[in-house]
Structure formats: C-alpha cells, structure tokens
Amino acid sequence: MKSKIFFVILLSIVLFSFSVYGQMKMIKKGGKDGNIFMINELAVIVNDADGSVIVEHAMPADNRPEQYRNIKIKNDDEILMVNKKRVKSVKELEDIYNEAEKDETIKMGLQRGDEMFFVEFAKMDPDKLPKRKMMIMTKTIDSDEGGDKVSTKIISDKIMLDDKDGPIEPLFGIGLILQEKNGKIYIIKNLENFEKTKALQEGSEVISINGQTATSLKQVTKIYKELETGEEVTLKVSTGKKENMSTFQKPEENAKKVIRKERN
C-alpha cells in the first residue's frame, strides 16, 4: 500500500457583492497548472502555464478598489514583463510584487492575441486591501496497486483561518501555518503531518530560521521558499519561557495556495 499526504491550496476567490436588488453573487475559481497568485489591486488570479504567466481569472472591475477600475486586464491575457523584467513564472512575478514598496508603481507588459500593451498601478497598503480568508484542504490518497487495478480513496478536511489580526502564510510540506501579529511571527496552526515539526506548539513564537532572527512573515517565508528540497532547515521557537529547536531536511512541496476572499 502506498500512502501520500499533501496539501492542496485551492485558489478559491469567493467574492460577495450586492446588486441593486440586494442579491448576493458568488464567484469561485481554481488554479489549473502550477503556482497561483492574486494581484489584489486588480482582483485577478494569475497562473503558471507552460513557461508563461496567464491571467486565469479576472473578476469584474467593480470588485477592485475604485482607483483601479479603469485598468484593462482580462482572462487569458499573458503577462510578459513586470517593471521591465521578463517573467516566465508566477514566482518571478510574485517576487517583484512583494519587493515593491507601498505606493510604488508596478508596470506590466501584457499580450492579448496579437496585441501588446502596458498597464500600471500603484501597490496598495496591504492594510487597506479587502480582507482575505485562507482555506487549507488536506488530502490523504491511498492507492492499492494490484495487476491492472488501482483504487484511490480521498479524504478532505477544511480549516478556515482569518487574517484580520495579521497576514497568514503556510510553510508547505511541514504543516505549519504562520501569522504575523504586532511585529512577531507565530505558529497559529500545526497540521501535524510532518514528524520533525509535530512537537512545535500552536501559539509559539518563531524566533529564527536557519540562524537568522525572524523579523517579519515575509522574511521567514522567503528564506524557507528559497531553500531547495533536501536542504537543512532549523526553526527556533519560543513557548512561554521555553525555547525549542527543530532541524530537518526540507521536504518536497506538493501544494498550491488556498485563498478565500471576502468583501463586504
């Protein structure tokens, strides 16, 4: 019997808006091929697709903050460049976006069929963006292989997390979900699917990663993401007055981001 446990982060943007009749609309969209990322200012989801970055889902313009509603971007537009840099993956786009400062102009070169054009927008203060919720789904797949017969059993669990107290990010593969609160980084959920981090308690503060003091959620996740599979990871955490350390090899990241977004 072969058993494999992995995280699936379904990019499920759930948007609530009201028409003049007070009816509620719900829009859901999931990623297809590779990594997925949401450009919040433009209310678009981008996806990896064969060495390109494609707009997988563009929500109606009236779902954006008002100052961004005239920006022309549609489903299936290909993003060729961001801030004069060629991008061939969602990670490259995400890195450029994350490195931009608040109010900095982000300029993207797009292709739509035979047409090529540019759009630009100012990066918003994250605190002023619509609130998001993250939904993590864990799946356990058990496969019995005998002759030509293969049976698969899938069991799913859902965990709802709210980022109203600060941004949230998962560390894929090791079952930890982190949140930044008041300048400190905390483990808010331990899914206990990875032996080396099972003992790290929820509510513990992350003190350092690979010897570098934890200064922000962005810094911690960046250090972790840049490590290759199999490289050594050391997490130091504090629970009350007690400090714990966990050292392990970074496992393979069989995951995609799950985001659920709500607007009032």
Q: Do domains 31-128 and 132-249 have the same CATH topology?
A: yes
Q: What mean pLDDT is predicted for residues 106-111?
A: 97
Higher-confidence residue of 179 and 32: namely: 179
What dotted CATH number matches 31-128?
Answer: 2.30.42.10
Dist CA 167 CA 180 (whole Å) = 6
**What is the pLDDT at residue 123?**
95
What dotted CATH number matches 132-249?
Answer: 2.30.42.10
Going through 87-231 in order, the beta strands assigned E by DSSP cover 105-112, 115-122, 132-146, 149-162, 168-171, 176-181, 184-190, 205-209, 212-213
Q: Indicate whether 232 pLDDT > 90.
A: yes
Q: What mean pLDDT is predicted for residues 176-194?
A: 86
Dist CA 200 CA 189 (whole Å) = 10
Higher-confidence residue of 6 and 39: namely: 39
pLDDT bucket at 189, cuts 50 / 70 / 90: confident
Inter-residue contact 136 to 161 (CB < 8 Å): yes
**What is the pLDDT at residue 130?**
64
Inter-residue contact 263 to 62 (CB < 8 Å): no
Inter-residue contact 46 to 90 (CB < 8 Å): yes
Higher-confidence residue of 53 and 255: namely: 53
Going through the chain in order, the beta strands assigned E by DSSP cover 2-8, 17-18, 24-25, 36-39, 44-49, 52-58, 78-82, 85-86, 105-112, 115-122, 132-146, 149-162, 168-171, 176-181, 184-190, 205-209, 212-213, 232-239, 242-249, 260-261
From the CA atom positions of the chain, what is the Rg in Å?
20
What is the rounded average pLDDT for all residues in the chain? 75
The DSSP call for residue 147 is T
Phi/psi at 98 (5° precision) = -65, -30
Q: Indicate whether 160 pLDDT > 80.
A: no
Dist CA 12 CA 169 (whole Å) = 16
Domain limits, the chain: 31-128, 132-249
